[in-house]
Amino acid sequence: MFAGTRRTLLLGAGASLLAPPAFAAEPTLADDGYFEVWEELAAGVAVIRQAKPFHLQPIGNVTVIEQSDGLVLVDSGGSPGSGRRIVKLIRGNRPGRPVKAVILTHWHGDHPLGLGEILKAWPDARTIATEATKAHLSDPKTMNTPAAPDSEANAKVVAKFKGFAAYCRDTAAKAESAAEKAGWAAGARLFPQYAQDMDGALTLAPREGFTERLVIDDAAAPVEALFLGRANTDGDAVVWLPRQRVIVTGDILVAPIPFGFGSYPSDWLAVLRRIRDFQADVLVPGHGAPMRDDRYLSAVRALIEATRDQVKASVAAGLDAQQARAAVTLDAGASTFTGGDPWLKRWFASYFTDPFVVSAWKEAKGEPIVQSLGG
């Protein structure tokens, strides 16, 4: 997935020995597909997403829906820098169209942290989420960015991500495989930009909350924000466009690797069944390319069922949580999502298996699943 980082001498056939040596250019963030691109999906509907789907620090997809009197966004990007790029893309592709509303699918920072920049551009826009997500975004204990400018907290956030860049560089230098070296080198390119993007980041709570359904009506493009149940979080919003037959799932679906942090295994399965029943023409996941069938959804359902059932069997056998994790085998399922890529396989364990097993263990034991950063 990621280009290698070693500079190599290229002396092509017939090249003059007196010519200056040519070097392969070092990969850039643009080569890595980090920055957002615009993709049209249906009449009046587009998605803003990262050009390549997997990054150590991802940016959530933003769906743009054109109504007669303005635009409705689903999610807002993952940082102030991301928010500024989103504003620029909207103005370039929907010139003269104001953003009238932003619906946040959930509270994880790579989806709401661009909101401040969007509201600078369109201060009258409605901001909407489920009541559970609104509560999380209003709670300073949940988030790692402040609700109001705080120079000391901001400096710590920026320094943290600059530190991640240094860690990635050091780890790339020590990596033994080409895949690991390339992956960590991509992280070393990413985090300085992310530190810059996160400068001044604030967590803004939405002004409006809903519990089951909220409609933003329009003759050509009505928008239905729905709570179908707990899944990836306890307050996931799903957005349905009945005229265009597009459904926006937030992180209930993420490609290429599902996110398992703080999730609700059995409820998640029920929500995926309800999403499938819409029979949408296009599914927009929280990360990754739009989908025009439900094959990926079915693969995620099978993965959740297989993992949950293995953990339930471990609990029934009297194994503790650590033993249950060791007993989980997902090699066949993992290959569906990683395609055998060793870099993705590494992060499949960290982003899905490890945190999901914690949730499945708690569910099987009847213990509460607490929403927090990192699951």
CATH number for the domain spanning 66: value is 3.60.15.10
Q: Is residue 42 included in any domain, yes or no?
A: yes
CB atoms inside a 10 Å sphere around CB 41: 20
Residues of the chain with pLDDT below 50 are 1-19, 374-375
- Domain range holding 118? 31-145+202-293
Give the per-residue pLDDT at 163.
97
Indicate if the alpha-carbon torsion angle 120, 124, 130, 134 is positive or negative. positive
Q: Taking Cα atoms as reference points, which of 355, 346, 51 lies closest to residue 182?
A: 346
Q: Is residue 264 included in any domain, yes or no?
A: yes
Q: Is residue 298 included in any domain, yes or no?
A: no
Q: Is residue 60 included in any domain, yes or no?
A: yes
Based on the structure, what is the number of domains in the chain? 1
- Where residue 139 falls (left for φ over 0; alpha for ψ -120 to 50; beta otherwise) is beta
Q: Is residue 219 included in any domain, yes or no?
A: yes
What pTM was computed for the model? 0.91
Indicate if the alpha-carbon torsion angle 294, 300, 187, 156 is positive or negative. positive
Sole residue written with tokens 């820098």: 81
Which residues is 37 bridged to in the sheet?
A: 49
Residues 6+ apart with CB under 8 A from 115: 76, 83, 102, 104, 127, 204
Give the per-residue pLDDT at 9.
25
CA distance 179 to 177: 5
Q: Is residue 167 included in any domain, yes or no?
A: no
Give the per-residue pLDDT at 3.
33
